[in-house]
């Protein structure tokens, strides 16, 4: 089977981390199979859908590196929905219903009060032609429901959850069109999946009941239902569903210095027992995606874990990949020297400042004479090869210092910090003139 997946956000807001995970999994699955990944903007909600949100969705997917092979907008497909709606209506699978929200709410409360499931009673099907005509003469406009077949099973083998089965008698006939003619989610989504040749639908477990109902819509429209994978929803690090996850989107991650590959590496694996391997290789991520390895327990998203993954991604980034984000004058040698100490690319500017100076001097009084000697030694050594080891070897031979007593005062005087990049790589970037000046100042002779 040729694989076609789709990501179908509504442009009524910005994408959050849960949306990014859905988009990524659909993209990885399609790419692993050599198939197609489609973007569909479910913008039938005219009041809340905006061009700005649609543009933001495209930009966020682009930043994540999730390219798509085709794009459609539901707002352009009204004629198709109308034609298929009329087919279902002619076949008796769509019917008008006239209850308003107050009446429906009262019916639900009565059923719940009796300990019964709040399933619509199909009262609209019992109306006579005269009663319908009377309602419409009084200006009551119907909404439209899809009539479920109580004898047609709702069953499928879910790629994540395994065999699933629902009794259609426990489900209300879903409203598919409002009284004002606007569409709800359920039916246009099925029409589009058939028309677009979608073979696999990957989405959250909150859609499981929708899938049961939509299976009958696929059947009624003469379409082949896709394979479904319903993934457990994300939870926050505190172990419960977190509203904060709804605010974590691309803007937040970019501001925090998170790389797209870090997000992809983490979101590709959380929810499985497989280790998260920070990688720049999307093909490897795609090849390793296996829905059977995803558990049904909520998947835990931890920003601290993401930050750790991000640091390991940064340590793999080539100079060419980050050059435009580095401070002026910082070349490949500087990037490769500083990179192992970075948690984000933006931190490179801090270390470049350490190279260029000035740096704070926080030297122990007892080390001043040693540093003055180090300044004189630094001025005399050969800087053409490995000045750090030339300097430390000369000082080791001329003093009784070794280990921390030898290296720490030098690092503090040269960088103003007790920890940082390998000094053998950093000292040539600082250079002879700045190094001698910093050591002399720390030694009290400048």
Domain 357-442 has CATH 1.10.10.350: yes
Rounded Cα distance between 231 and 210, Å, is: 14
Question: CATH code for 243-314?
Answer: 1.10.1160.10
Nearest 5°: phi and psi at 145? -115, 150
Cis peptide upstream of residue 334 (ω within 30 degrees of 0)? no
| Annotation: binding site for ATP | 243
DSSP state of 397: H
Rounded Cα distance between 332 and 79, Å, is: 56
Q: What is the pLDDT of residues 339-381, one digit of tens each?
A: 999 999 999 999 999 999 899 877 889 999 999 999 999 999 9
Question: What tokens does 400 get?
Answer: 């009784």
Length of the chain measured in residues? 446
Split at pLDDT 50, 70, 90, the class of 47 is: confident
Alpha helices in 197-233 (DSSP H): 208-220
Q: What is the pLDDT of residues 125-149, one digit of tens each?
A: 999 999 999 999 999 999 999 999 9
Q: What is the mean pLDDT of residues 100-114?
A: 89
Q: Tokens 């999307």 map to which residue?
A: 282
pLDDT tops 70 at residue 242: no
Rounded Cα distance between 445 and 375, Å, is: 9
Q: What is the pLDDT of residues 67-94, one digit of tens each?
A: 999 999 999 999 999 999 999 999 999 9
Report pLDDT for 376: 95
End-to-end CA distance of the chain: 76
Residues of the chain with CATH 1.10.10.350: 357-442
Cis peptide upstream of residue 55 (ω within 30 degrees of 0)? no
Q: What is the mean pLDDT of residues 167-177?
A: 96
- Residue 319 in 3-state DSSP? helix
| Annotation: binding site | 243
Residues of the chain with CATH 1.10.1160.10: 243-314
For 5-43, the DSSP string reads EEE---TTS---HHHHHHHHHHHHHHHHTT-EEEEEE--
Q: Minimal CA–CA distance to 132: which of 143, 144, 124, 121?
A: 124
Domain 4-74+188-233 has CATH 3.40.50.620: yes
Predicted structure pTM score = 0.91
Residues of the chain with CATH 3.90.800.10: 80-153+165-177
Question: CATH code for 80-153+165-177?
Answer: 3.90.800.10
């Amino acid at each position: 089977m040729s694989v076609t997946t789709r990501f179908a956000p509504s442009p009524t807001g910005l994408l959050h981390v849960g949306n990014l995970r859905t988009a990524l999994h659909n993209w990885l699955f399609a790419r692993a199979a050599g198939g197609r990944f489609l973007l569909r903007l479910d913008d039938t909600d005219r009041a809340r859908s905006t061009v700005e949100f649609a543009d933001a969705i495209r930009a966020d997917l682009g930043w994540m590196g999730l390219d798509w092979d085709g794009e459609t907008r539901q707002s352009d497909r009204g004629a198709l929905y109308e034609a298929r709606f009329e087919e279902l209506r002619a076949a008796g699978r769509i019917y008008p219903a006239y209850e308003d929200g107050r009446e429906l709410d009262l019916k639900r409360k009565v059923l719940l009060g009796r300990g019964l499931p709040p399933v619509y009673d199909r009262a609209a099907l019992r109306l006579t032609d005269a009663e319908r005509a009377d309602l419409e003469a009084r200006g009551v406009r119907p909404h439209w429901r899809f009539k479920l077949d109580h004898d047609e099973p709702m069953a499928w083998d879910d790629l994540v959850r395994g065999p699933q089965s629902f009794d259609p008698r426990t489900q209300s006939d879903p409203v598919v069109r409002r009284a004002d003619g606007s569409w709800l989610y359920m039916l246009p989504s099925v029409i589009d999946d058939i028309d677009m040749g979608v073979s696999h639908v990957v989405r959250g477990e909150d859609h499981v009941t929708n899938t049961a109902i939509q299976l009958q819509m696929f059947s009624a429209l003469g379409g082949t239902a896709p394979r479904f994978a319903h993934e457990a929803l994300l939870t926050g690090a505190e172990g419960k569903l977190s509203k904060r996850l709804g605010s974590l989107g691309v803007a937040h991650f970019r501001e925090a210095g998170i790389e797209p590959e870090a997000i992809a590496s983490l979101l590709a694996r959380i929810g499985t027992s497989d280790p998260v391997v920070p990688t720049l290789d999307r093909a490897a991520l795609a090849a390793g995606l296996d829905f059977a390895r995803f558990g049904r327990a909520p998947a835990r998203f931890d920003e601290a874990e993401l930050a750790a993954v991000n640091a390991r991604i940064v340590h793999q980034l080539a100079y060419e990949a980050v050059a435009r984000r580095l401070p002026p004058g910082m070349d490949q040698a500087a990037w490769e020297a500083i990179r192992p100490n970075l948690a984000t690319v933006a931190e490179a500017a801090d270390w470049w400042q350490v190279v260029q100076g000035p740096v704070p001097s926080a030297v122990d009084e007892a080390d001043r004479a040693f540093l003055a000697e180090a300044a004189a030694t630094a001025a005399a050594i050969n800087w053409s090869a490995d000045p750090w080891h030339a300097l430390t070897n000369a000082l080791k031979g001329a003093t009784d210092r070794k280990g921390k007593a030898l290296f720490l005062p030098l690092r503090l005087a040269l960088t103003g910090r007790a920890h940082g990049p390998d000094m053998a790589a950093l000292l040539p970037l600082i250079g002879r003139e700045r190094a001698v000046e910093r050591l002399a100042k720390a030694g009290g002779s400048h």
